[in-house]
Amino acid sequence: ILFILTIQTAMVLLQKPKHKIQNPKTERRSRWLLLLYIFVTFALATVGTAANAKYSQMIWIDLRDSGKDPNDLIVNELEFWINRLALTSYYVMSWILDLLLLQRCFVIWNWNILVIILMSGLLLTNIGLSITSMVAASKGAIFTNLPSQLAYLVISVSTNFLYTILVAGRLLVLRRRTIAVMGKDHAKVYVSVAALVVESSALYSCVGVLYVVTFALHSDVGN
């Protein structure tokens, strides 16, 4: 699915604009940056998925005769470098994905300094927590017992939730201002975009909250 979405997105970005562009150089640079963005995230997701699949093969097939119980291998998952590689890939990918969310949020808020400080602070905190988790992982810590990982998950879900509120709220405010000046017909696009933002983040937020709860309770449901 991710491969198909990546190809479809690349095809859209490679299409020639149907309308005249005021600044072709800037538009062309933006397209190449977005192409780089989608291929980097695709590469990181592929590495993470492949490494995770190899780890699953090791604990259920390759190491079945090692004398170790699969449950012990799962609990001590960070002892395997292949699993640490998967975790690192997912961490870096989440940083890049959050950067795009923040850029969109900043543009919609016209680069408001308070919004920049708030959202950038959350991103930097998440980066610090993920690095802390990886350092602990290199020392043989148990993943589900890491406070830094739980904090990372909480802030990650909170960032997505706050982003949705900021963007959707800003769009609705702009809609009200547009109606006051130009009428309802010119404000329909704001409702559509706000609904798109809410709908796209709703699934992630719901699943994220459930995963945070199961992770905090050390429940197997999170798997």
- Mean pLDDT of all residues belonging to the chain: 84
Task: Tell me, rounded to whole angstroms, the distance of Cα 158 from its chain centroid.
Answer: 12
The identity of residue 93, as a single letter, is M
pLDDT at residue 39 tops 90:
yes
pLDDT at residue 198 tops 70:
yes
pLDDT, residue 218, reads: 78
pTM score over 0.75:
yes
What integer is the mean pLDDT of 50-63? Answer: 87
What CA–CA distance (Å, rounded) separates 56 from 63?
Answer: 10
What integer is the mean pLDDT of 103-126? Answer: 93
Banded model confidence at residue 2, pLDDT cuts 50, 70, 90 = confident
Banded model confidence at residue 151, pLDDT cuts 50, 70, 90 = very high
- The domain segmentation of the chain, as residue ranges, is 2-222
Rounded to 5°, angle at Cα 150 from 143 and 89: 60
